[in-house]
Chains A and B, each alone.
Chain A
């Protein structure tokens, strides 16, 4: 029985995904973007071809989305730019969820002085205005690598998740099944990983999604302002140059 369990589950999941058109559509969009990020850079040469005769060309068959200020194909820019943005957003999202969940569960489960100390740190992370902080950090750090970008966005973004996970942990730990688990003398590690976390999992999954979205906004915003390594091709820099306001 245990060995056959995963198969029907996976099929059931696939069925729930496909049955509602909305879900299938959403899944298709995500798959399309993931494909763009993974395969996109291989589809085009490292230095995108530039056509000086077609600067700011309107959409045509050769350039479905037109061209930019130096005659590069906008569709190619969008496709190749996907990797940086999505990779760093996924890194940031994973970090936010990992740090936020660890802090929230530890604070809510152990309570007492540990809770107070962790919540002080959380409050601090929540209070610092993130966007100005990113601008200040960009003066010392060249965000040319998506890993650096994801790291910074993740390290300063986990406050809200920690707060919410702590609140959920606080209410869950008073429930009967957790009290029973503790009463049985199960080690804290088991109680947290096996009893507590599965109940917070849906919330964590949702905050992963929201964190990835927020990370995409934050970095495209940063790049839009012009705080960016010029060599990088990414969505934010596309929108800045599109406005042709800044040439840094």
Chain B
């Protein structure tokens, strides 16, 4: 019951946030120098459309017509959004924005999700090692490696990896597409294999750039748990070291799960560099390309979807944390 109330409260704030962002993008496009909507309308008339046709074509793209008063345009835009209509893309002629986004989203999700999971696995396990061996050379070395890799921008790591493994020592397929374009797409072994080999570098770049954060968080978390009384008690009872290590890991993991959930939320917008460098047709790539081509319906639509995904993931993370850690529920 309390969970339901909390969920509805969070969903309401989420909706308000989405509304604010949608209004922001609406006014952003309207305030743009050169008024792209009116320009599109006039271009249609120049191309031989009647004013009625041009009005209908503009309405299809943006959700509103340029000659109406601003409040009316705003209401029309919101009405379309409430029906999950994001308008039509300009560059992909006649294709709804929602379809372009739906085609791009899986690339981003697969790429970033595997990147996050790999970096989390490496960071968390190396973090435990760094915490247990914290007073030795190995522990120092591990921590320093985390800080250093955390300090190098993602795109520098990605370029270096691409250069080393596709040019200098060409063991991995060249950049250009997320799979071997000579193979027919489908659920067959060679195609999936080429997907995997093409994904090695981007995932590695993502993981290398972000494992340091996990490592340092896990290390400090483990160190604080190691000093707890229940660990001492477990050791005094003569439990096997492996069992004790499991106790430590389970308790040290908790703060990491919140960060993990939040990171998964941000993944929808967080892979622009990797997508750009390795030519993945994901959401970041769509957003960036739409900006270059001045495809405003696609741009605002993608931005809105990315923001909505982040907001929803935050709500999910918040609720999930209450499920994982009973102490949160009680307080």
Binding site for B on A (CB under 8 A): 120, 123-124, 127-129, 131-133, 135-140, 217, 220-221, 224-227, 239, 243, 248
Contacts and interface: CB of A to CB of B under 8 A. Distances in A.
Given A129-B266, A217-B153, A225-B272, A136 B25 contact: yes
Given A139-B291, A140-B31, A227-B291, A131 B299 contact: no
B314 A136 contact: no
A139 B17 contact: no
Contacts of B153: 217, 220-221, 224
A225 B32 contact: no
Interface residues of B, number: 37
Given A128-B21, A132-B269, A139 B303 contact: no
Contacts of B311: 127
Residue from the set B155, B159, B270 with the largest chain A CB neighbour count within 10 Å: B155
Contact of B303 (A120, A124, A136, A248): A136
Given A124-B20, A129-B270, A243-B159, A135 B306 contact: no
A248 B294 CA distance: 14
B288 A135 contact: yes
Given A136-B25, A139-B291, A225-B276, A131 B155 contact: no
A195 to B, nearest CB: 28
A139 B33 CA distance: 9
A43 B154 CA distance: 31
Given A136-B303, A220-B153, A243-B159, A129 B31 contact: no
Contacts, number: 76
A140 B36 CA distance: 11
20 contacts: A124-B17, A124-B20, A127-B17, A127-B314, A129-B310, A131-B272, A132-B284, A132-B287, A132-B302, A132-B306, A135-B291, A136-B303, A137-B28, A139-B32, A139-B291, A139-B294, A221-B153, A221-B155, A227-B288, A239-B159
- Overall SS of chain B's interface: helix
Nearest 3 pairs of A and B residues by beta carbon = A129-B269, A132-B269, A136-B303
A125 to B, nearest CB: 10
Contacts of B266: 129
A132 B302 CA distance: 9
Contacts of B269: 129, 131-132
Nearest to B267: A129
B41 interface: no
- Overall SS of chain A's interface: helix
Contacts of B143: none
Given A132-B302, A136-B300, 5 more contacts: A127-B314, A128-B310, A131-B269, A221-B273, A225-B288
A26 to B, nearest CB: 13
Contact of A127 (B28, B156, B291, B310): B310
Nearest to B284: A132
A138 B311 CA distance: 23
B120 interface: no
Nearest to A220: B153
B88 interface: no
B306 A129 contact: yes
B13 interface: yes
A132 B272 contact: yes
B77 interface: no
Residue from the set A132, A137, A138, A217 with the largest chain B CB neighbour count within 10 Å: A132
A224 B273 CA distance: 9
Interface string B267-286: 01110110010000000100
Nearest to B32: A140
A220 B33 CA distance: 25
